[in-house]
């Protein structure tokens, strides 16, 4: 950022801004730079680097000032979209600090490692007049259609909860099947029932995932007495998310009641669906048609992004480039060089006019 003529500024939650000279509100570009376990090389990082290149080239050409941001904890080691949620005022610093990762470390403990850097007060949102996030699609639509750009019109909402089913730990060889209170069997039954109960209310674009599960004591010869797991669901409609919330909780309660299990639940995410700014969307669409005529589309983002938290603060929109094979959150994640370059050209074209 410094080499591009921007002043690097990091806040206490690791959000790194590169600010141009002057104090007038400017366009903000960027994304995030953290990754998932075994994540790919483009998720988030592409938007930061593309934004940085556009800011550098625009400054050298004498264009309008552009700032760049790299948000932290977008991938949710502690809090989904954690860095941008705190910066946007959606999540208080105190609440964020209490969150733990799967190993039990709190964010407050992890932040102590930031002593290498000079920490500044958060950059105020009033410093920026709009935000555009460039990102890989992380899905198959563009790649399947042979298209190179998507202009995002809206971003799905996300709900997330952690569950604990408590049965009875016992000997795996001597405990008859009909007497077992096997926590894993309860988790398996919950997953099957949930698919059946959600089927009548969801759309083809609705998704739900049990992405992390642990058994206690996790030994081959012990009937597990406890199962802990995450439950996450996404949709573009708040009413449907609410309906799914009720079904998920009712299903867990029914399984626990019928099997004689204890049940505990903690919410960890509730981010509403967001509409992108209509004027920015049209500006991005014009740039896409100018740079890649006939090779772009409008679409909904099925993945969650930092842009969702900035929508209430300033005009916000997004651009996508294709993900080869629709693969992301994997080492196999990739995008062709030509599409990466084309995406940066569209972003530069749009940044000159919006």
Summarize pLDDT for 323-353 with one digit per residue, the tens: 999 999 999 999 999 999 999 999 999 999 8
pLDDT band at 142 (very low <50, low <70, confident <90, very high): very high
Summarize pLDDT for 244-285 with one digit per residue, the tens.
Answer: 999 999 999 999 999 999 999 999 888 899 999 999 999 999
**What is the CATH architecture of 7-155+274-351?**
3-Layer(aba) Sandwich (3.40)
pTM of structure: 0.84
Query: How are beta strands 128-136 and 226-235 bridged, if at all?
Result: unpaired
What pLDDT is recorded for position 306? 97
pLDDT at 58: 96
| φ, ψ (nearest 5 deg) of residue 28 | -110, 130
Q: Convert the pLDDT of each residue in 92-121 to its tens digit.
A: 999 999 999 989 999 999 998 777 778 899
**CB contact set of 111 (below 8 Å; sequence gap of 6+):** 12, 13, 14, 97
Predicted local confidence at residue 113, as pLDDT: 79
**What residues form DSSP beta bridges with 171?**
222
Name the more confident of 303 and 298.
298
Answer whether 44's CB lies under 8 Å from 74's CB: yes
Mean pLDDT, residues 201-226: 97
Q: Architecture of 157-271 per CATH?
A: 2-Layer Sandwich (3.30)
Q: Where along the chain do its domains lie?
A: 7-155+274-351, 157-271
Q: Please, are residues 167 and 225 in contact by the beta-carbon 8 Å criterion?
A: yes
- Compute the radius of gyration of the chain from its Cα atoms: 22
Question: 259 Cβ partners below 8 Å, 6+ apart?
Answer: 167, 181, 185, 186, 189
Same fold, 7-155+274-351 and 157-271: no
Handedness of CA 83, 89, 91, 96 (dihedral sign): positive
């Amino acid at each position: 950022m410094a080499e591009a003529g921007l002043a690097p500024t990091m806040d206490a939650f690791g959000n790194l801004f590169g600010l141009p000279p002057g104090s007038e509100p400017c366009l903000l570009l960027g994304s995030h730079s953290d990754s998932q376990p075994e994540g790919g090389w483009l998720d988030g990082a592409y938007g930061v680097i593309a934004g940085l290149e556009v800011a550098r080239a625009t400054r050298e050409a004498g264009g309008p000032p552009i700032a760049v941001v790299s948000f932290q904890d977008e991938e949710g080691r502690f809090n989904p979209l954690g860095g941008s949620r705190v910066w946007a005022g959606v999540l208080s610093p105190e609440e964020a600090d209490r969150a733990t990762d799967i190993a039990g470390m709190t964010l407050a403990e992890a932040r102590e490692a930031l002593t290498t850097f000079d920490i500044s007060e958060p950059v105020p949102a009033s410093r920026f007049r709009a935000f555009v996030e460039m990102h890989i699609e992380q899905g198959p639509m563009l790649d399947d259609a042979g298209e190179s750009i998507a202009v995002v019109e809206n971003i799905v909402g996300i709900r997330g909860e952690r569950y604990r089913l408590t049965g009875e730990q016992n000997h795996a060889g001597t405990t008859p099947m009909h007497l077992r209170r096997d926590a894993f069997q309860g988790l398996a039954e919950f997953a099957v029932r949930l698919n059946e109960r959600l089927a009548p209310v969801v759309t083809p674009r609705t998704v739900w995932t049990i992405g992390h599960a642990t058994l206690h004591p996790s030994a081959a010869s012990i009937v597990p007495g406890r199962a802990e797991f995450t439950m996450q669901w996404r949709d573009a409609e708040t009413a449907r998310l609410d309906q799914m919330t009720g079904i998920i909780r009712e299903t867990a309660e029914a399984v626990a009641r019928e099997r004689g299990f204890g049940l505990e639940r903690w919410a960890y995410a509730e981010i509403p669906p967001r509409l992108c700014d209509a004027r920015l969307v049209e500006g991005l669409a014009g740039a896409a048609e100018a740079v890649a005529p006939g090779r772009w589309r409008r679409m909904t983002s099925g993945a969650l992004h930092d842009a969702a938290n900035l929508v209430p603060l300033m005009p916000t929109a997004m651009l996508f480039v294709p993900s080869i094979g629709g693969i992301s959150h994997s080492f196999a994640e990739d995008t062709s060089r030509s599409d990466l370059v084309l995406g940066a050209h569209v972003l530069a074209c749009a940044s000159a006019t919006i």
